[in-house]
């Protein structure tokens, strides 16, 4: 059965990672890049949970790591959104190509 | 018994469909709000996989923190950001961009796929403990006490920093 197989989860998580990379290059705004970054983080945390279920000696470690990733993602997105707010007020754009040198 | 297994597999496949349909919406959407809703769908699918991996607590936390908190923060960011200009958006989604993005994503995918195929995964000999929340909490307060406290300090710093940065960004509050 496919849901009892480690490789299934690993392939899902690398697909999530590739989706994140694709979206990060494709999106032309900081918020879109933030959304794609969440996919990369989720791929990593799904990987930890899969190893936790199938390989790890102590099944609490992977869960704790996934919880830490969630906490970091929440902190990261709060900081990024406030930086985007500041950049928009200063440059009137959230296109990374227009603010690449951080000067008016 | 066979019926239960089959039902489990069917639900698993439905969650995978959630993850990838949401993901494709999120990376290809023209409007950021649609991308955000795709992200929420995809995160719900990942929560379902956590449930299947034996951790209902993590599935709950994923729904609460990611779908609840992070998506609302991003929605707030979209709300205060600029209005999308339709023609400009179309022009910006150029052709080179898609090819570059696909090439980078495919390269990453193939490298990682080769990596996971070439490793023989060996399960640990002896397994201690279980998947219960009680065991998780004991580990969190004994062995992982320092990272736990560091995360709380980090969250406090991030919130204060976010407030200060947002305040500097407002008109007339230049540093």
Q: In Å, how far is A73's CA from the nearest CA of chain B?
A: 8
Q: CA B153, CA A72: separation in Å to the nearest integer?
A: 11
pLDDT of residue B145: 92
- Asked whether A12 and B49 are in contact (CB, 8 A), the reply is yes
Confidence band, pLDDT 50/70/90 cuts, at residue A26: confident
* Coil vs helix vs strand at A5: coil
- HSE, CB side, 13 Å, CA atoms: give it for residue A41: 24
| Top-confidence residue, A44 or B132 | A44
State residue B129's pLDDT score: 76
Closest-CA residue to A35 (of A98, A65, A80): A80
The pLDDT of residue A101 is above 80: no
Residue A77's Cβ-count burial label (10 Å; 0-12, 13-18, 19+) is buried
What is the token pair recorded at B22? Answer: 């949401």
Tens of pLDDT, residues B30-88: 888 999 999 999 999 999 999 999 899 999 999 999 999 999 999 988 888 777 665 55
Q: Which residues of A fall within a CB distance of 8 Å from B74?
A: 31, 34-35, 77, 81
User: How much is the mean pLDDT over chain A?
Assistant: 89
Q: What confidence tens digit (pLDDT) does each residue in A57-69 have?
A: 888 889 999 999 9
For chains A and B, count residue pairs whose Cβ atoms are closer than 8 Å: 239
Is the distance from CB of B147 to CB of A68 less than 8 angstroms? yes
- Residue B8 at interface with chain A, using a CB cutoff of 8 Å: yes
pTM, whole model, 2 decimals? 0.89
d(CA A8, CA A5): 6
Contact B12 A6 (CB under 8 A): no
Residue B140 CA neighbour count, 13 Å, CB half: 18
Cross-chain CB nearest to A58 (options B77, B128, B161): B128
- Could you report the predicted ipTM of this complex, rounded to two decimals? 0.92
A35 vs B26, B124, B131: nearest CB: B26
Mutate to test the interface with B, among A39, A90, A96 (most CBs of B within 10 A): A39
pLDDT, average across residues B125-143:
86
DSSP H helical ranges for B29-94:
32-52, 56-61, 71-80, 86-92
Q: How many angstroms away from the CA of A87 is the closest CA of chain B? A: 7
Cross-chain residue pair B43–A42, CB shorter than 8 Å: yes
- Shortest CA gap A37–chain B (Å): 11
Residues in chain B with CB shorter than 8 Å from the CB of A19 are 20, 23-24, 26-27, 105
Stretch 59-88 of chain A: residues touching chain B, C-beta under 8 Å: 59-61, 63-64, 66-68, 70-88
């Amino acid at each position: 059965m496919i849901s009892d197989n480690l490789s299934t989860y690993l392939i899902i998580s690398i697909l999530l990672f590739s989706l994140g990379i694709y979206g990060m290059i494709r999106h032309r705004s900081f918020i879109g890049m933030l959304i794609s970054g969440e996919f990369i983080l989720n791929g990593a945390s799904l990987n930890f949970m899969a190893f936790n279920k199938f390989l790890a000696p102590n099944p609490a470690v992977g869960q704790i790591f996934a919880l830490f990733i969630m906490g970091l993602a929440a902190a990261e997105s709060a900081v990024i959104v406030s930086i985007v707010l500041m950049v928009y007020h200063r440059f009137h754009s959230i296109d990374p190509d227009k603010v690449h040198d951080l000067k008016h | 018994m066979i019926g239960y297994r089959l039902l489990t597999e069917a639900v698993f496949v439905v969650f995978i469909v959630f993850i990838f349909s949401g993901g494709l919406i999120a990376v290809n959407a023209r409007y950021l709000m649609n991308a955000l809703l795709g992200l929420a769908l995809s995160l719900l699918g990942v929560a379902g996989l956590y449930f299947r991996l034996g951790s209902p607590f993590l599935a709950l936390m994923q729904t609460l923190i990611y779908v609840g908190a992070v998506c609302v923060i991003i929605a707030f960011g979209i709300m205060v950001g600029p209005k999308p200009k339709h023609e400009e958006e179309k022009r910006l989604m150029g052709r080179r961009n898609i090819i570059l993005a696909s090439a980078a994503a495919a390269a990453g995918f193939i490298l990682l796929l080769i990596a996971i195929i070439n490793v023989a995964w060996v399960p640990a000999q002896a397994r201690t403990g279980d998947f219960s929340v009680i065991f998780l909490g004991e580990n969190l307060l004994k062995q992982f006490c320092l990272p736990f406290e560091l995360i709380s300090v980090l969250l406090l710093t991030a919130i204060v920093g976010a407030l200060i940065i947002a305040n500097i960004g407002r008109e007339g509050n230049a540093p």
